[in-house]
Structures are given as structure tokens and as C-alpha cells.
Amino acid sequence: MTAAVRTTCPYCGVGCGVVASSDGAGGWAISGDKEHPANAGRLCSKGSALGETLGLDGRLLHPVVDGRQASWDEALATVADRFSDVIAEHGAQAVAFYVSGQLLTEDYYVANKLMKGFIGSANIDTNSRLCMASSVAGHRRAFGGDVVPGNYEDLELADLVVLVGSNLAWCHPVLYQRLIRAKSERGTRIVVIDPRRTATCDAADLHLAIRPGSDVLLFNGLLAHLGRAGAMDQDFIATCTNGFAEAFLSAGDDACDMDAVALGCGLTLGEIQEFYNLFTGNSKTVTVYSQGVNQSSRGTDKVNAIVNCHLATGRIGKSGMGPFSVTGQPNAMGGREVGGLANQLAAHMGFTPDDIDRVGRFWQAPRMAQREGLKAVDLFQAIEAGKIKALWVMATNPAVSLPDADRVNRALASCPFVVVSDCVGDTDTTAYADVLLPAAGWGEKDGTVTNSERRISRQRGFLPNPGEAKPDWWIISQVAARMGWSDAFAYQSPADIFAEHAALSAFENDGSRAFDIGALTGVDYDTLPPTQWPARKSSGGTARLFAEGGFPTPDARARFVTVQAATPAMSASAEYPFILNTGRIRDQWHTMTRTGLVPRLSSHIAEPFVALNPADAATLNLTDDDLAVLRSAQGDATLRIRVTRDQPQGQLFAPMHWNRHFSGNGGINALTAPVTDAISGQPELKHTPASLTPFKPAWTAFLITRGEVAPPPSAEYWTRSAAAGCTVLMLAGTALPGDLAAWAEALLPPVHGIDYHDKRRGIHRWARLDGDRLEACLFVSTDQPLPSRAWLVSLFAAPEMDAKSRTGLLSGRAPADAPDEGRTVCSCFNIGLNRIAAAICDGGLTSAEQIGAASKAGTNCGSCIPELKELIGHVRCGQAA
């Protein structure tokens, strides 16, 4: 028998619908849900690999107290007692929760209710502080509430889409594919505003490689230009907004003419003119923005500078128009709806006396928090200062993802009582836990999430909870009950919680709060179709808001916000001459606790790297694949060098993903500064002054093994990556171990093997075999570069090796008739660089479509199409790529 369950993807905020189909024999196939409005059946590389994350490797399966397995009873009682004791002794402000946009709405609602209504503190903040806080603050300043006015369809209906600080091709791939399809059908113009050239720029008509941090100036200049060009919507300004005159005058002062803007933004006059003309000439404009805007010391101002231009032109809430903050996490929006941020209450209420009273009455709360709590960066500083004595972390990995991570690690180590709820047992954060609580994960738990376009979808479980894992809402409710509040937390199911959440949203809501899902209070939770809020009692869902005004402000008008251009908090200096920008890569999710285990997601980019311009590389005497130490005033990381013209001179880019399981010193947040936006509290993760120094190892090596091996202490540099049937360790050090044979033996499995040594050329190679099964390969090199490991890695995918492969083993070279795939480019179909290069050369191919027809590459999720196009220009036929 086969069964199919409709749910949603647990990764990005696009919120794609997923169908999990059982093969009846315990296996599950994952496909896109053709009926889900977000994706209509499409999935990206991460979504399509979901089936490969269902294994129980590394899962936390039992509660753990003080390092030993414990019963749920003991674990829950320990958490409740310790929190109660700290509150009794030091007050409610001495405890805190740090939660996540990866919790389901129901989990989030219960955590928020416990902290803000019953413990009586607002010290619950979320990783959304690192992600969406500036957009939330910008929305609240302009609209009076945290509302994204438009929807995904608007990107398809627009004539101009401006992407500001968003690498949509890699970070919101299905939405990007929708945009690209619209472009091919109707010629949508696309402008990308990003200091570096990203994969998203591949489809851009105009790429503005803006000086980092100068977005406010660019959009103030645009506002002034819209006035000069007579492109304002005077009616909308007059009837639906306030504060125009001041914002407009100030923008004009700030950006007195296009030359000044060009100079300040590091662009040419022609580029500025082209952008402003495109914006002026296309009323159907959507401006999408993401972390290049939010993660900035001026993030809130950047948001309002953008929103001002949309208000001035009345381009809001109408089809094909609007400012559009795309959310990162699957439930970033849901968290904002339940008030998961320390400076908000629940259901879009704030800390006004009326709101506190209203929520308090609704919850029948004994001890409502009376003031805002600590925001993430301040919260961890308060932990370090000893002010917070009990912390509960849920569904986030702050030891990796917060700025100034070494300090965050020290804070976690010094906190007297740390509880961590996670699905994974061994993360950088679980290492500090006094109590570990095993959470049910994706595919197991039930609830709702809200995507970037305000669409609430059900996430449904199709697997049993493994071991003793339990859903987060259950865990939190059980602790609440043990702290004495069993009636208020007597939930039997997520449906109970959702009904209460929906009722609160409508409670005494005369329309002054945009978030109202009163219509969903009595619906059948199990069959709840994807619905866009608001869904008031009197109506169904809502596709767009604010076309005719009606903002959730006291006078129903939107507010122009006067914003002034300013430089980022810190500048480059003689000691730290580069600006370090950080962000995401295509196939990894955040701190890699799930995607890092999937071979086909780990081969596109297998090592943490720092990208820099060829001119900077030349000055530093660095070339591609060298190693270097990146330093800032906070800390350092050792990374692989990638030389690329995509990076402007003076600017570096490094991914945020690598944790301690996958690298020795690849965590980039050791370097980022805890500098935040004064209004939103969001840290400036895109702008840290840094220096780069070559790391010249005496030896480099790779070790491929079937099981996982700990890196040897002699390796000052190491990274680990998952591949089919094996794990790859890349190693480097400054002193070659004296007794190399003994060193190698300690790393290799104790089975039969063959060795090869060429002392003169500094080459040492070992292969270990169990019959015809390859168990391990270790290649060490002192003078030469290491050979490609792709072919060797491919040998581990099969249980046995043929005789021909055996002969080539220690040369590391594939036999002529079984070519080496090379690095994976298309992760959906596992197609390597060399196969694509061969297809290009053999067929004389000149387009991504032709490559797709010849090899299938790029024909599923399309995320690799920008790279395929780049390969066409770069492959040198007649020699290996």
C-alpha cells in the first residue's frame, strides 16, 4: 500500500509544498506538491534531497541530564525546578529562552506564552533577530504593523523586479525560478543591487555592485529623482500617507544629485541613471530585499528608504507592485505572528499598557511581562555578565550563528544552567547543555508555518517520532505544567494551540491589528488549505494589502520615515584592510546539522572558503585553492582561497555555514562583530573589517574513509565532508609528522593495503582494502599539489571495486573509459563538472538548455543554470576542465 502526505519544506521561507509518498516498504519519496500555490510542484536542490535527511544518524533520541541518559520525567522536572529556583532567587529577568524561526507556529506560541505571560519576563528572543528584525522594525515604522503587502505572483506580474541584498537564485530558488520563467515570457527587467556578483546576477539586466552599506543613499537619491521626474502618485501620498514632505526634502539634501549618489555608492553616473529611469518608467515594480538590507547597522533605515519609494509612487498592494521582504526561515513569519521577538507581545501587539492588559486577560496570565526583553546579542552579553542564570535554546545553534561566536561560546560555557532542545545530538550548542531534550523533527511533527507571502500552510508528520523524541510544543507545555501552570498549558494537540492562537489574533481586534486569522478558529485543522492572512471572521484569505491605504496605524495612514545615509559602523583600517561580507551557498542550510550529512549537497562546495578579487590575491601572493588565515578584531578562521572577479577589490566573502563538526577553524562568526542596528537590534553580519594572511602548510593530505575518523592533532587545518559511502577529510599542517608510517596507520583501518612513496617528490599514498572493497585512501603531499580526489571518492559509492580501478588506485587517476565526474555542479542529478565539460565540447553546446538536453543537468530545480552558463564560456575543449 502507498500513502501520500502533503506537507511543506523545512528550509527556506518560500514555503514550498511537498508530498511525501510511502513505497509501502518503509521508504519515502519526496516530490513537489503541484497544488501548493508557492511552488506548483517545483523543488530546489535542498528540497529534493529531503528524503536523504530522514535517516537517524546523529539524531538525539533520549533526554540527557548532566551527560547521562535520563527519563522524560527527570529531564522535565530538572528544567522546571531549576527555572523555578532561579526565578525565586533572582527574579524572572534572570531566565531566558532563545528560540527560532524553525519552530512551528504552535511551538513558538507556547514558548512565548510561557515566558511572557507566566514567567513574567520578555527575555525570549529568536534567531529572527539575526534575520528579519530590521524588516519587522521597518514595516512597523512605515505601516504600523509587521506586514508584507504583496505576494509571489507579484514577481510574475511585475515589469521590473529590483533585488536588493538578495541572492534569490541560491537562497529562494523556487521563487527565483518563477521570476525567470516570467522573464522569459514577458521580458521582466531585473536589477540586482549587491556588492558582489552573485548567481542571481546571471539573469540581471543591470547589476549595481554598490559600495557596501550605501543602500540608503541610493534609495534617497531615487526618491529625489522620482520627484524631479514627476513620477509620484500625489493622490496616494495625500490620502494614504503622512510625513512625505520631510522625508522627501531630507532625501534631496542627502542625495543632492545623481553625481553625489554615484560617488557615494561607488557606481557610475550611467548606472545610476539607468536604474532610476527603469524605476521611473515601470509602475509595475517589485523591490525584493533580504539580508544585504537587514543585516546591517542601518538595516531599518535601508528598509524604510526602499518603502518610501514605493509609498511615493503608490506602488503597494497592487498586482505586480510592492516592497517585498523575503523571509529566510520556513517559519520566520509565524514567529513574528506569535510575538516571538523580545520587543513584541503576541498577535502583533506591543508593550503598550492596553496590549499588555488585553493579552493578559486573554491568557488569564498571572504575571504578564511589563516591558521588552533582551534582544539576541544583548541577551548573550547578559549571559556572559552573569545576569541570566538559566537559558533554554530551541531549534537554533547560536554557538555557530551569532556574531562574535567565540564570546558566545564562552557565555554558554559560563551560564549556570543551559537547556537545549534539538533533533541532533552533537551540535556546537548542545555541547554546553546541562539538559538535552530530543525534539521531533521535520516529517515527524505537526503544525503550521507561514511563508514570505503571509501564507499559512500545514506541516504534517508522516513518520513516527524516533526514540523518545517529542514535539517542541509538548516539551514546553510539560515544563509549564511542572512549573505550576497545568491548566493554561493543557494542550492535547497542535490543533488546540492553533485555535487559541487564531482566537487571540481576533480578540478585541477592530481591524487595528493587521494580523487577524479569526476565520481559522473553527476550521478543520487537518485539512486546512494554504491560506494568506489576514483571514478575518467575515472574509477568507487576503492576497494583497494597502492598495487603498487602510494601514494598521491610528489614522490608517502609512508613514514616510526620514532616513539619512550613513556609513557602516566599522571601516577598513591599516590592520584590517578588507571588508568581510558573509552569507549563504546554494546547497547548505545554515549550520549544516542536516544538509551537511547529505552527500549530494556536500559536493558542490565541499570546503569553507573566502572569495577575493584577483588583484587582491596577487598582492597577497595567493592563488586559487591556497589556504589563508582570515582575522578580525574578534577572532580568526582558516579557509580555502577562491579567486574570482565576482568579488570587488577590497571585499571578501565567506559562507556562514561551517560548524565544528565539519571544520577545524571554518566558523566565520568567530570574526563578525556584535555591532547592531540601533532600532532593530539586528547584527551587522555583512560588514566586518578583516585581514588575510597566507597559511603555507608544509604538507597537505586527504583521507577518504567509509566511517568517520577524527582529524589528527598534527593537522592545523582540517575540513570534513560527506560523500556517497564515505567521508572525506582534507588536512594540512606546518610540520610533517616524523614517523609518517605510524601516523598513517593510526588513521587507517587495520586491513590489507597498498602503499606508494616517492620521497624525492614528497608523495605518500596509502589504500586499504577488504577483499575487493575499498576501505580507505590517504594521500599526503609535501611539494606537489594533491591530485583530484573525485574519482577516488566515486569508488566508495560501490560496494566493490573492479580490477582496472584497482590498478589506478594509487595514481588517483580514473581509467580512460570511466571518466572522473569532477566536482558536482547539478546536485539534483549528481552531474559533475567534467561530464558537463565533455558534453559542451563534444556537442559544441552554447546554452544551458542544450546542456540540459544533452546531460539533464539543470533540468530539475534549475539552481545550477547560472553555473552552466558560466561553464560554456570557460571550458577549454581539448584539455581537462
Ligand X SMILES: Nc1nc2c(c(=O)[nH]1)N[C@H]1C(S)=C(S)[C@@H](COP(=O)(O)OP(=O)(O)OC[C@H]3O[C@@H](n4cnc5c(=O)[nH]c(N)nc54)[C@H](O)[C@@H]3O)O[C@H]1N2
**Cα separation of 442 and 466, whole Å?**
12
Confirm if 457 and 435 have CB atoms less than 8 A apart: no
Return the one option of ligand SF4, ligand X, Mo ion, none that residue 15 interacts with (CB less than 5 to 8 A, by type): ligand SF4
Query: Which residue in the set 65, 95, 99, 131 belongs to the binding site for Mo ion (CB under 5 A)?
Result: 131
Confirm if 631 and 671 have CB atoms less than 8 A apart: yes
Tell me the CB-side half-sphere exposure of residue 182, using CA atoms within 13 A.
20
Size of the site for Mo ion (CB under 5 A): 2
Return the one option of ligand SF4, Mo ion, ligand X, none that residue 174 interacts with (CB less than 5 to 8 A, by type): ligand SF4
Question: What are the angstrom distances between the C-alpha of 784 and each of 97, 175, 609, 698, 781?
Answer: 51, 44, 21, 11, 6
What is the x/- site pattern for ligand SF4, positions 17-56, by CB under 6 A?
Answer: ----------------------x---xx-xx---------
The DSSP output letter for 398 is: H
> Side chain identity at 407, as an amino acid letter?
R
Answer yes or no whether residue 129 interacts with ligand X by CB under 6 A: no
Return the one option of ligand SF4, ligand X, Mo ion, none that residue 177 interacts with (CB less than 5 to 8 A, by type): none
Q: How far is the CB of 294 from ligand SF4 (least distance, A)?
A: 18
Phi/psi-derived region of residue 650, left when phi > 0, alpha when psi is between -120 and 50, beta in every other case: left
Return the one option of ligand X, ligand SF4, Mo ion, none that residue 9 interacts with (CB less than 5 to 8 A, by type): ligand SF4
Burial code of 608-617, b = ≥16 C-beta within 10 A, e = fewer? bbbbbbeebb
Answer yes or no whether residue 174 interacts with ligand SF4 by CB under 6 A: yes
Residue of closest CB approach to ligand SF4: 47
- Cis peptide before 534, with omega less than 30 degrees from 0? yes
The SS3 call for residue 843 is helix
Q: Which is nearer to ligand X, 664 or 666 (CB)?
A: 666
**Cα separation of 754 and 845, whole Å?**
42
Confirm if 735 and 677 have CB atoms less than 8 A apart: no
Q: Which is nearer to ligand SF4, 173 or 812 (CB)?
A: 173
Q: Which is nearer to ligand X, 83 or 170 (CB)?
A: 170
- Cis peptide before 689, with omega less than 30 degrees from 0? no
**Cα separation of 433 and 417, whole Å?**
8
Answer yes or no whether residue 584 interacts with ligand X by CB under 6 A: yes
Query: Which residue in the set 93, 100, 344, 457 belongs to the binding site for ligand X (CB under 6 A)?
Result: 100
Q: In the range 409-438, which residues lie near ligand SF4 by CB under 6 A?
A: none
Tell me the CB-side half-sphere exposure of residue 832, using CA atoms within 13 A.
17
Return the one option of Mo ion, ligand X, ligand SF4, none that residue 212 interacts with (CB less than 5 to 8 A, by type): ligand X
Return the one option of ligand X, ligand SF4, Mo ion, none that residue 47 interacts with (CB less than 5 to 8 A, by type): ligand SF4
Answer yes or no whether residue 10 interacts with Mo ion by CB under 5 A: no
Q: Are strands 417-422 and 435-438 parallel, antiparallel or unpaired?
A: parallel
Answer yes or no whether residue 264 interacts with Mo ion by CB under 5 A: no
Answer yes or no whether residue 15 interacts with ligand SF4 by CB under 6 A: yes
**Cα separation of 515 and 552, whole Å?**
10
Answer yes or no whether residue 450 interacts with ligand X by CB under 6 A: no
Options 532-540, 584-592, 613-621, 812-820: segment touching ligand X (CB under 6 A): 584-592
Return the one option of ligand SF4, Mo ion, ligand X, none that residue 418 interacts with (CB less than 5 to 8 A, by type): none
Answer yes or no whether residue 591 interacts with ligand X by CB under 6 A: yes
Answer yes or no whether residue 16 interacts with ligand SF4 by CB under 6 A: yes
Options 71-79, 172-180, 232-240, 267-275: segment touching ligand SF4 (CB under 6 A): 172-180
Q: What residues are paired with 161 via a beta bridge? A: 190, 286
**Cα separation of 725 and 700, whole Å?**
23
Confirm if 841 and 812 have CB atoms less than 8 A apart: no
**Cα separation of 329 and 105, whole Å?**
12
Answer yes or no whether residue 331 interacts with ligand X by CB under 6 A: no
Options 108-116, 253-261, 328-336, 808-816: segment touching Mo ion (CB under 5 A): 328-336
Closest C-alpha among 794, 699, 769 to residue 737: 699
Q: Which is nearer to Mo ion, 171 or 217 (CB)?
A: 171
Residues sharing a CB contact under 8 Å with residue 68, sequence separation 6 or more, in sequence order: none
The SS3 call for residue 584 is coil
The cell 506537507 sits on which residue?
7
- Site for ligand SF4, rule CB under 6 A: 9, 11-12, 14-16, 39, 43-44, 46-47, 172-174
- Site for Mo ion, rule CB under 5 A: 131, 328
- Site for ligand X, rule CB under 6 A: 12, 100, 102, 127, 130-131, 164-167, 170-171, 193-196, 198, 210, 212-213, 215, 290-292, 295, 328-329, 394-398, 400-401, 421-424, 427, 439, 441, 445, 472, 581-584, 586, 588-591, 593, 656, 668-669, 672, 685-686
